[in-house]
C-alpha cells in the first residue's frame, strides 16, 4: 500500500508541476468589419498569424477599392512567404513530436500563396504595369508547381493564359502559355490572343475552400467547399452579353494536390501518440497490480507503473493535430475576359448566376468602366458587395472577444 501511495504522489507532483500558468493576451477587436479587425490583428495579433491577416485584409481592401492599402498588405505577405520558405525553421520545429503544426508562421497552402501573387498581379496591371503582373503570375504558377500529384502541378488557367497574353503583347511568343492554359481549362479560351483589347476584366465569386481536420487526433487535413454561392457570372455592356465562366476553381486546387510532407509527419505523430498511450496504459495497470505485493515484486510493479506514467506523459505531450488556419475570405471561382472599348466612360452590369443559371438576388450591380486613351482599363468584380471603407482601427472594448478565424 505504501508503494502505491508513493507512485500516486509522484504522478500527482508531475502533473501539477507540468501545468504552467498562462496569461492570455488581451482580447482584440472583433467588430465584424474585416478591415478594422484585420488591421488590428496585423498590428497586435500573434506574429505567427500575421500573414493570414495580411492576406485577408489585403483582399478586403481591394474589394472596397482601397488599392494602395491592399498593395501594402500583399507586398508584406509576399515578402514573408519568401523569407519563411527560405528559412523553413518553423516547419522544421513543427515536425517535433511536442510542437503543434499551428505554432509555425502561417503562409497557407499552395493555393493560398498562389492567390497572394494573383491579386498582387491584378493590382500591378491596374497601375499600368502588366510586365510586373506577368512576374506575379509566374510566381503563382511556381507556388503551385510542387504538387505530389504532378498531373495537377501548376494548373492555374488564368495566370498561365495571361502570362502568354502579356508575352504576346510585348512581342514575345506566348504560344506555350496558351497551349498549357488550353490543356487545363474546362472552358474555351480566346485565341489567338486578343492583344489589341484594352479592357481586362477580372471576376471572382463563390466562397473559398474550408479546412477541417479528421482522424482520432485530428491529424488529417481535409477540405470542403465553402457555403454555396454563384457558379458563374455575366457582364452586360454596350449591348453585349459576355459570359464569365469559372476558369479556376480554388476548391479543385485545394483538393487535387495530393499529400503534404507535413501529412506524413502528423501521421507518424498520431501513431506514436497512440502507441505510447497504449504502452503506458498496460504498464500502469500491470505495475499497480504488482505494487501491492511488497518485496521484489512490489518494486518491479513500482518500476512498471513509473514507466507507464512516463509513456502516458510522452503520449499526452505529442501534438499530431493538423493546422486548420486558413485565408477565410477567398472566393471559389476566378474568371476573366478582355474587351475592346473606345476611350471614355462605359456603364456595365455584372450579374452572378446560380447553378441553374438563374440570377442570384442582391448581387447584380452597375459599374462604370473608365477606358484611358492609352493603356488598359483593369476592372475587378466580386460577388462580395463593396462596403464603405472602414475607419482607422480603434482600441477594442475590454470585454470584446477576439475571433481570429
* CB-based contact 42:36 (threshold 8 Å): no
Considering the domain boundaries, does residue 344 fall inside one?
A: yes
**pLDDT of amino acid 98:** 53
From residue 360, alpha-carbon distances to 30, 231, 351 in Å are 29, 10, 8
Measured in degrees and rounded to the nearest 5, phi and psi for residue 345 equal: -95, 140
> How many CB atoms neighbour CB 389 within 10 A?
12
CATH of the domain at 354: 1.25.40.10
395 vs 346, residue with greater confidence: 346
Considering the domain boundaries, does residue 212 fall inside one?
A: yes
Considering the domain boundaries, does residue 2 fall inside one?
A: no
For residue 292, pLDDT over 90 is answered with: no
Considering the domain boundaries, does residue 55 fall inside one?
A: yes
Q: Domain range for residue 356?
A: 34-264+321-382
**pLDDT of amino acid 381:** 97
Q: Of 13-17, 143-147, 186-190, where does mean pLDDT reach its minimum?
A: 13-17
The answer for residues whose C-beta is within 8 angstroms of residue 244's C-beta and 6 or more apart is: 201, 203, 232, 233, 234, 235, 335, 336, 337
The answer for residues whose C-beta is within 8 angstroms of residue 277's C-beta and 6 or more apart is: 311, 312, 315, 316
Instruction: Give the 3-state secondary structure percentages of the chain, helix then strand then coil, rounded to 5.
Output: 45, 15, 40
Considering the domain boundaries, does residue 17 fall inside one?
A: no
The answer for residues whose C-beta is within 8 angstroms of residue 142's C-beta and 6 or more apart is: 154
pTM here is 0.80
Considering the domain boundaries, does residue 301 fall inside one?
A: no
| Nearest-angstrom CA–CA distance, 266 and 35 | 34
Cell digits of residue 342 = 473606345
Cell digits of residue 249 = 476553381
302 vs 376, residue with greater confidence: 376
**pLDDT of amino acid 95:** 56
Reference 250, options 59, 387, 57, 87; nearest CA is 59
* CB-based contact 39:33 (threshold 8 Å): no
For residue 389, pLDDT over 60 is answered with: no
* CB-based contact 152:255 (threshold 8 Å): no
> How many CB atoms neighbour CB 387 within 10 A?
12
Q: For 97-105, what is the mean pLDDT?
A: 68
| Nearest-angstrom CA–CA distance, 316 and 281 | 12
- Looking at residue 155, the DSSP 8-state letter turns out to be -
Cell digits of residue 74 = 500583399
Q: For 276-291, what is the mean pLDDT?
A: 73
Q: What is the mean pLDDT of the chain?
A: 81
For residue 145, pLDDT over 80 is answered with: no
| Nearest-angstrom CA–CA distance, 317 and 269 | 11
pLDDT band at 334 (very low <50, low <70, confident <90, very high): very high
* CB-based contact 345:368 (threshold 8 Å): yes
For residue 296, pLDDT over 80 is answered with: no
Considering the domain boundaries, does residue 394 fall inside one?
A: no
The total of structural domains in the chain comes to 1
Considering the domain boundaries, does residue 111 fall inside one?
A: yes
- 200-258 pLDDT, tens digit per residue, is 999 999 999 999 888 887 778 888 999 989 999 999 999 999 999 999 999 999 988 75
Amino acid at each position: 500500500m505504501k508503494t502505491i501511495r508513493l507512485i500516486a504522489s509522484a504522478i500527482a507532483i508531475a502533473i501539477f508541476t507540468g501545468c504552467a500558468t498562462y496569461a492570455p493576451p488581451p482580447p482584440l477587436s472583433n467588430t465584424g468589419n474585416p478591415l478594422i479587425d484585420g488591421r488590428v490583428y496585423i498590428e497586435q495579433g500573434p506574429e505567427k498569424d500575421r500573414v493570414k491577416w495580411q492576406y485577408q485584409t489585403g483582399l478586403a481592401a481591394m474589394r472596397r477599392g482601397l488599392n494602395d492599402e491592399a498593395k501594402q498588405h500583399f507586398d508584406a505577405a509576399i515578402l514573408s512567404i519568401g523569407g519563411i520558405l527560405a528559412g523553413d525553421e518553423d516547419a522544421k520545429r513543427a515536425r517535433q513530436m511536442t510542437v503543434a503544426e499551428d505554432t509555425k508562421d502561417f503562409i497557407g497552402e499552395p493555393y493560398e500563396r498562389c492567390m497572394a501573387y494573383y491579386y498582387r498581379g491584378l493590382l500591378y496591371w491596374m497601375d499600368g504595369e502588366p510586365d510586373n503582373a506577368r512576374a506575379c503570375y509566374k510566381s503563382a504558377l511556381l507556388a503551385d508547381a510542387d504538387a505530389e500529384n504532378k498531373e495537377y502541378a501548376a494548373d492555374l488557367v488564368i495566370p498561365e493564359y495571361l502570362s502568354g497574353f502579356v508575352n504576346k503583347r510585348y512581342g514575345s511568343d506566348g504560344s506555350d502559355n496558351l497551349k498549357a492554359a488550353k490543356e487545363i481549362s474546362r472552358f474555351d479560351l480566346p485565341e489567338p490572343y486578343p492583344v489589341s483589347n484594352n479592357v481586362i476584366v477580372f471576376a471572382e465569386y463563390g466562397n473559398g475552400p474550408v479546412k477541417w481536420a479528421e482522424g482520432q487526433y485530428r491529424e488529417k487535413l481535409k477540405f470542403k467547399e465553402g457555403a454555396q454561392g454563384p457558379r458563374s457570372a455575366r457582364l452586360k455592356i454596350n449591348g453585349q452579353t459576355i459570359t464569365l465562366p469559372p476558369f479556376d476553381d480554388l476548391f479543385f486546387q485545394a483538393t487535387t494536390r495530393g499529400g503534404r510532407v507535413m501529412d506524413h509527419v502528423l501521421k507518424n505523430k498520431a501513431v506514436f501518440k497512440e502507441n505510447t498511450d497504449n504502452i503506458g496504459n498496460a504498464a500502469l495497470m500491470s505495475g499497480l497490480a504488482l505494487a501491492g505485493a511488497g518485496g521484489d515484486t512490489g518494486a518491479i510493479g513500482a518500476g512498471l507503473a513509473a514507466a507507464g506514467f512516463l509513456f502516458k506523459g510522452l503520449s499526452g505531450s505529442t501534438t499530431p493535430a493538423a493546422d486548420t488556419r486558413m485565408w477565410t475570405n477567398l472566393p471559389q471561382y476566378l474568371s476573366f475576359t478582355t474587351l475592346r472599348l473606345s476611350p471614355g466612360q462605359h456603364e456595365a452590369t455584372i450579374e452572378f448566376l446560380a447553378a441553374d443559371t438563374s440570377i442570384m438576388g442582391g448581387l447584380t450591380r452597375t459599374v462604370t468602366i473608365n477606358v484611358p486613351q492609352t493603356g488598359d482599363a483593369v476592372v475587378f468584380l466580386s460577388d462580395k458587395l463593396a462596403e464603405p471603407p472602414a475607419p482607422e482601427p480603434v482600441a477594442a472594448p475590454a470585454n470584446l472577444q477576439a475571433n481570429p478565424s
